[in-house]
């Protein structure tokens, strides 16, 4: 299973838009409404007082702060206040806060002899925007001589930033004055926490609404998966700006309605960078990576500069299409741009190279990156796990911990996958337990899927079933799919029927469930069972996903289907395969007839197996690629036992490295062996 979550989500979901986010609400929304002449020189000034130029000047010769909660200041009167010094101090505080240097900002604040309400609001905003500084922000707020509405709004945003919902509600109720930004902060907070019922209650009673209010509500419904509610509210909105429209595009894409998303996008007279990125990522998430790439080219043709989010989406598209050459072109573009040192883009490049089968380049990039966050480490650990380099993945996990990087739930998906691919059952169980006890990470469906696969493939099918039954939430489709795959390996019909029954009760039209069950019947030569499965598929109008493989030659991606009759080079491919078959049999290859689900004679089974899509792709690669160049093939289904054995033999007799990515992992075939050690 491929986990694309380590590709950092900077496609700008609407909960992260600046003017909807509590993270930055205090420094954008408020200044949109209130900016004093004092701050006119700074277009992005932090919250300013809504009153007239007359400010509260608080002389101070000493203000002390400590993390243990102690504040103290001494005041003295001065008849000659230096207004310019106050403005300069405010600007310095604002500048340091924007650069993330809260310590320097506080030193300026502490040394200021005179403080206006703007000074207090600016430093309060600095503490409010940092998670984990709620107590300090509260202490600061309590010391403000005469707080204004911006002070209250900034403190309110801080409660939301720290996820203290009850405190935010209580504080809002106690506020002596509320402006539209106060109400918007509450609505945005409720929306981002999925509390759309409470958000709507406030929305209906608030005295004045503006465009930000409508944007917050529409985006909130989209984030909560309530597209119909979002559309109803969108129709009511007096102004339908780019923010609300982009939110609707997001909703359509998430619901799989690409056509309506395209319609909304085309109708938009104004498009922001977020809008373009939403469409690009939407195409890719809906399996239309080629359309996403076309849109990027159109965007660049219009002179719109791509950003880290655009490139990350584009690289994800390259990964999904296995378009290595295009991925390398994107990499070249990045090297020549200011985004070369961007952590998000670097992580996306690591992911792209890993998923396109070039693990060496991924590792080189990882080592060269000057800054790495947990997402970067996850990308490399997952890359090693997908390629079966379990020891390297686990060693990297140890190094990550030694460097003080705290693993998250995605890290453990990669770690458990590494254990799974190497059959490290006891170690996997140990990590699964440590994840909860040592790191406080609650198991998610992906963790259980890894564990069920780990136990099942090791033959511990009863333990896998017990784990499913002990889960605290409802089992999902992938879980039973993994269990079915293990049943095929160990030919356990009883557990297979249990897994198939549960899988098909969740999704009656899931073709993989029927096929996996039929595989188990076929492995036990119970052809009557295979016939029953096929009959059931026909009755439920289930269409089996055809197996196909693809590879990149030059700038063209070639696709091959099992029993292909359409490829323009089909005749020469079949001749090459016939030649290969003779050499393979001389080298000791014996077709694995159990890999054929058809109840036909052995000779016909051999013929059907020979025309499997990955064999067609390998033959084509041997014909078209220069000697010595690795053949990289990508497949939409799990590689079958016969193709796995055949590819090992071909790699030896042709002296060629063959890299195959299926839905489970990468297989590196070289000199007659596979990197998976025949455990997959």
Name the pTM for this structure: 0.69
Show the tokens assigned to 638.
Answer: 């799990």
Res 23 pLDDT > 90: no
Using DSSP, state whether 74 is helix, strand or coil.
strand
Please state whether beta strands 556-561 and 666-670 pair in parallel, antiparallel, or not at all (unpaired): unpaired
pLDDT digits (tens, 9 = 90+) for 50-82: 333 334 444 443 444 444 444 444 344 443 445
Residue 264 has pLDDT above 50, yes or no: yes
State the alpha helices, DSSP H only, in 474-612: 477-490, 493-506, 511-523, 527-539, 570-586, 602-610
Kindly give the residue spans of alpha helices, DSSP state H, lying in 387-457.
Answer: 390-402, 409-422, 425-437, 445-457
Please check whether residue 382 is in contact with residue 400, taking contact to mean a CB–CB distance below 8 angstroms.
no
Whole-number pLDDT of residue 53: 33
Of the listed ranges 25-34, 46-55, 169-178, 473-482, the least confidently predicted one is 25-34
Please report the beta strands in 350-448, taking only residues with DSSP state E, as ranges in sequence order.
Answer: none
d(CA 292, CA 296): 6
Sorting pLDDT into bands at 50, 70 and 90, what band is 598? low
Tokens linked to 9: 């989500």
Q: Is residue 2 part of a domain?
A: no
Is 562 a domain residue? yes
**What average pLDDT does the segment 644-670 reach?**
95
Lowest-pLDDT range of 105-119, 262-276, 421-435: 105-119
Residue 63 host element (H or E)? strand 62-65
Looking at per-residue pLDDT, the higher value among 358 and 43 belongs to 358
Q: Where residue 290 falls among pLDDT bands split at 50, 70, 90?
A: confident
**What's residue 101's pLDDT?**
87
Give the residues across from 658 on adjacent strands.
631, 669
- Of 523, 527, 483, the C-alpha closest to 503 is 483
Domain end residue (candidates: 307, 327, 356): 356
User: Does the residue 591 lie in any domain?
Assistant: yes
Query: Quick one: pLDDT at residue 459?
Result: 93
Asked whether residue 584 is domain-assigned, the answer is: yes
As a whole number of angstroms, the distance between CA 633 and CA 417 comes to: 22
Out of 294-303, 390-399, 534-543, give the one with best mean pLDDT.
390-399
| Average of per-residue pLDDT across 638-649 | 93
Chain Cα centroid distance, residue 502: 28
Cα–Cα distance measured from residue 478 to residue 445, given in angstroms and rounded to the nearest whole number: 9
pLDDT of residue 521: 87
Contacts of 12 (CB under 8 A, 6+ apart): 274, 277, 278, 309
Residues in the chain: 680
Element (H, E) at 428: helix 425-437
pLDDT at 626 over 90: yes
Instruction: Select from 337, 356, 375 the last residue of a domain.
Output: 356
- The DSSP-derived string for 97-111 is HHTT-HHHHHHHHHH
**Domain assignment present for 300:** yes
pLDDT of residue 286: 87
pLDDT at 599: 55
DSSP-derived 3-state class of residue 456: helix
- The overall average pLDDT reported for the chain is 84
The most confident of 309-323, 330-344, 594-608, 665-679, by mean pLDDT: 665-679
- State the pLDDT at residue 229: 95
Which range of residues forms the domain containing residue 310? Answer: 271-356
Least confident stretch, 140-154, 255-269, 279-293, 644-658: 279-293
Q: Which residues pair with 668 in a beta bridge?
A: 659
In a domain, 240, yes or no: no
Q: How far apart (Å, rounded) are the C-alpha atoms in residues 66 and 313?
A: 43
Q: Does residue 148 form part of some domain?
A: no
pLDDT tens-digit profile of 490-547?
989 999 999 999 999 998 988 888 888 888 888 788 888 888 998 999 888 888 888 8
Calculate helix-pair angle for 445-457, 461-470, nearest 10 degrees.
Answer: 160
pLDDT recorded at residue 600: 58
pLDDT of the residue at 323: 81
- DSSP letter for 82, please: -
Express the helix, strand and coil content of the chain in percent, nearest 5 each. Answer: 60, 5, 30
CA atoms within 13 A on the CB side of 665: 29
For residue 439, what pLDDT is reported?
A: 94
- Specify the number of domains making up the chain: 2
Final residue of a domain: which of 310, 340, 356?
A: 356
* Residues 6+ away with beta carbon under 8 Å from 236: none
Q: Residue 628: inside a domain, yes or no?
A: yes
């Amino acid at each position: 299973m491929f986990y694309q979550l380590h590709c950092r989500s900077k496609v700008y979901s609407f909960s992260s838009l600046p003017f909807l986010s509590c993270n930055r609400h205090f420094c954008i929304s408020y200044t949109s409404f209130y900016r004093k002449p004092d701050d006119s020189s700074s277009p992005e000034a932090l919250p300013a007082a809504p009153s007239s130029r007359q400010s509260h000047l608080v002389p101070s010769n000493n203000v002390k702060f400590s993390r243990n909660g102690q504040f103290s200041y001494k005041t003295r009167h001065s008849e000659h206040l230096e207004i310019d010094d106050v403005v300069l101090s405010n600007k310095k505080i604002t500048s340091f806060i924007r650069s993330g240097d809260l310590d320097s900002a506080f030193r300026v604040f502490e040394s200021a002899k005179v403080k206006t309400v703007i000074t207090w609001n600016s430093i309060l905003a600095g503490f409010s925007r940092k998670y984990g500084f709620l107590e300090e922000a509260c202490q600061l707020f309590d010391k403000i001589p005469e707080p204004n509405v911006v002070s209250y709004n900034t403190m309110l945003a801080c409660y939301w930033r720290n996820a203290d919902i009850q405190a935010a509600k209580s504080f809002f109720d106690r506020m002596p004055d509320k402006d539209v930004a106060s109400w918007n902060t509450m609505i945005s907070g409720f929306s981002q926490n999925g509390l759309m019922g409470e958000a709507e209650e406030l929305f209906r009673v608030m005295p004045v609404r503006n465009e930000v209010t409508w944007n917050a509500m529409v985006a909130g419904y989209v984030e909560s998966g309530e597209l119909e509610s979002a559309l109803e509210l969108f129709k009511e909105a007096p102004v339908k700006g780019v923010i609300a429209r982009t939110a609707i595009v997001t909703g359509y894409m998430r619901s799989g309605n690409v056509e309506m998303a395209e319609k909304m996008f085309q109708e938009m007279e104004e498009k922001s960078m977020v809008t373009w990125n939403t469409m690009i990522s939407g195409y890719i998430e809906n399996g239309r990576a080629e359309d996403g790439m076309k849109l990027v080219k159109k965007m660049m043709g219009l002179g719109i500069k791509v950003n880290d989010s655009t490139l990350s989406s584009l690289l994800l598209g390259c990964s999904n299409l296995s378009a290595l050459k295009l991925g390398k072109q994107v990499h070249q573009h990045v090297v020549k741009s200011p985004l070369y040192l961007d952590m998000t883009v670097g992580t996306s490049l690591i992911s792209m190279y890993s998923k396109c089968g070039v693990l060496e380049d991924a590792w080189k990039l990882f080592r060269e990156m000057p800054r790495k966050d947990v997402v970067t480490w996850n990308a490399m650990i997952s890359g090693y796990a997908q390629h079966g380099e379990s020891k390297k993945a686990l060693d990297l996990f140890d190094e990550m911990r030694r460097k003080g990087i705290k693993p998250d739930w995605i890290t453990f998906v990669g770690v458990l996958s590494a254990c799974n691919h190497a059959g490290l059952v006891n170690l996997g169980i140990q990590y699964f337990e440590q994840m909860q006890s040592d790191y406080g990470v609650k198991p998610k469906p992906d963790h259980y899927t890894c564990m069920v696969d780990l136990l099942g493939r090791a033959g511990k099918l009863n333990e896998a079933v017990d784990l499913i039954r002990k889960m605290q939430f409802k089992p999902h489709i992938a879980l039973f799919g993994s269990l079915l795959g293990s049943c095929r390996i160990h030919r356990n019909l009883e557990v297979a029927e249990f897994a198939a029954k549960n899988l098909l009760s969740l999704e009656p039209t899931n073709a993989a469930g029927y096929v996996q069950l039929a595989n188990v019947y076929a492995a036990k030569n119970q052809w009557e069972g295979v016939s029953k499965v096929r009959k059931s598929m026909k009755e439920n109008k289930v269409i089996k996903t055809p197996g196909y493989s693809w590879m990149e030659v030059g700038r063209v991606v070639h696709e091959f289907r099992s029993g292909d009759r359409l490829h323009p080079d089909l005749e020469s491919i079949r001749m090459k395969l016939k030649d290969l078959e003779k050499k393979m049999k001389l080298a000791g290859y014996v077709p694995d007839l159990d890999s054929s689900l058809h109840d036909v004679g052995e000779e016909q089974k051999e013929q059907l197996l020979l025309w499997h899509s990955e064999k067609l792709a390998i033959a084509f690669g041997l014909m078209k690629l220069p000697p010595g160049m690795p053949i990289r093939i990508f497949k939409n289904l799990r590689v079958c036992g016969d193709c796995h054995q055949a590819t090992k033999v071909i790699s030896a007799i042709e002296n060629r490295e063959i890299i195959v990515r299926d839905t489970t992992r990468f297989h590196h075939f070289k000199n007659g062996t596979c990197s998976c050690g025949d455990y997959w």
